[in-house]
Amino acid sequence: MRDDTDFHGQAVLITGGASGIGWAAARAFAQRGARVAIADLTEEAATSRASELGPTHRGVGGDVSDEAAVDRMIHATVEAFGRLDVLINCAGLPDTFTPTIEQTGAHWQRLIDVHLTGTFLMAKRAAVEMMRHHHGVILNISSIAGTHALPRRNAYTAAKHGVIGLTKALACDWAQDGIRVNAVAPGYILTPFIEGLIAQGKLDPKVIRRRTPLGELLPPEEVANAMIFLASPLARTVTGTVVTVDGGYTAFGSPNDAAIIED
């Protein structure tokens, strides 16, 4: 019987692939036979992670908000693997929680550049390769901040809302080219990104667990599982949508705690 989650013969490029959710995705696709290109800010981090996966994988360095670097990363992937089947836009950085009236334009711009412009640039360049084979899947990582407000995290909230709008537009634009485009909206996922915010006292894991119906911060592998489904033929008719992986966080609206947790 055919396994629809077997990715042998496919090439997958993951931005932000050296850490957190991107790294979990890299492992999940590699375990299922894909050749994976890990893209991250530094060539060193990217190639080091790729070598952990094995010799058939590649690391490419570059900033997703720099159009020339985007071109180099996609070109290097296609040169190494001969094709590009799946792009996962996972590169990102946290917001600072600075009071709104103290936020600078430069701060705003960097968050928008990496999350939103980076997603646009990567998708646009990847689609050129995917159109050659009339086949491709693009997964853009949004957030619960893509559908709900996170006060003070203005640029992050705006960028993640933008990622969902962009996802819908590209899905409709490229449906006839054989390219599906979806967004994944994670809740609170235990990665270096969130661990850093917890260490700085900006997030309280106990409060998050109480606010989350499943009562936990989720492991990044759970997000990777959703990505495997969305990239597979099981999701052949799924495009232009958002899959939320948040343990019920955004479904919950009561004023009381969602979960009873042990201290």
Nearest in space to 238 (alpha carbons), one of 158, 163, 177, 183: 183
Report the distance separating Cα 89 and Cα 81, nearest Å: 19
Nearest-approach distance from CB 250 to ligand NAD, in angstroms: 11
Binding mask 183-212 for ligand NAD (x = CB under 6 A): ---x-xx-xxxx------------------
Report the distance separating Cα 249 and Cα 209, nearest Å: 9
Nearest-approach distance from CB 117 to ligand NAD, in angstroms: 10
Instruction: For residue 95, state whether it binds ligand NAD (rule: CB under 6 A).
Output: no
Nearest-approach distance from CB 144 to ligand NAD, in angstroms: 7
Residue ranges with strand state E in the chain: 11-15, 35-40, 58-61, 86-89, 136-141, 179-186, 242-245
Nearest in space to 77 (alpha carbons), one of 26, 2, 120, 150: 26
Count of CB atoms within 10 A of residue 21's CB?
Answer: 27
Q: Are 133 and 174 in contact (CB under 8 A)?
A: no
Interface segment toward ligand NAD; rule CB under 6 A; list 1-9, 87-95, 202-210, 224-232: 87-95
Looking at residues 111 to 130 of the shown chain, list those that interact with ligand NAD (rule: CB under 6 A).
114, 118
Nearest-approach distance from CB 64 to ligand NAD, in angstroms: 4
Report the distance separating Cα 135 and Cα 180, nearest Å: 8
Choosing from 38, 41, 84, 243, the residue that interacts with ligand NAD (CB under 6 A) is 41
Chain-centroid distance of CA 69 in Å reads: 18
Q: Of the two residues 66 and 177, which places its CB atom closer to ligand NAD in the complex?
A: 66
Nearest-approach distance from CB 1 to ligand NAD, in angstroms: 34
Q: Find where tokens 């479904």 sit.
A: 251
Residue 249 known to be catalytic: no
Choosing from 28, 37, 40, 228, the residue that interacts with ligand NAD (CB under 6 A) is 40
For 204, residues 6+ apart whose C-beta sits below 8 A from its C-beta are: 198
The catalytic position among 156, 174, 188, 249 is 156
Looking at residues 45 to 84 of the shown chain, list those that interact with ligand NAD (rule: CB under 6 A).
63-65
Contact residues: ligand NAD, CB under 6 A: 15-16, 18-22, 40-41, 63-65, 90-93, 114, 118, 141, 143, 186, 188-189, 191-194
Q: Catalytic positions, please?
A: 156
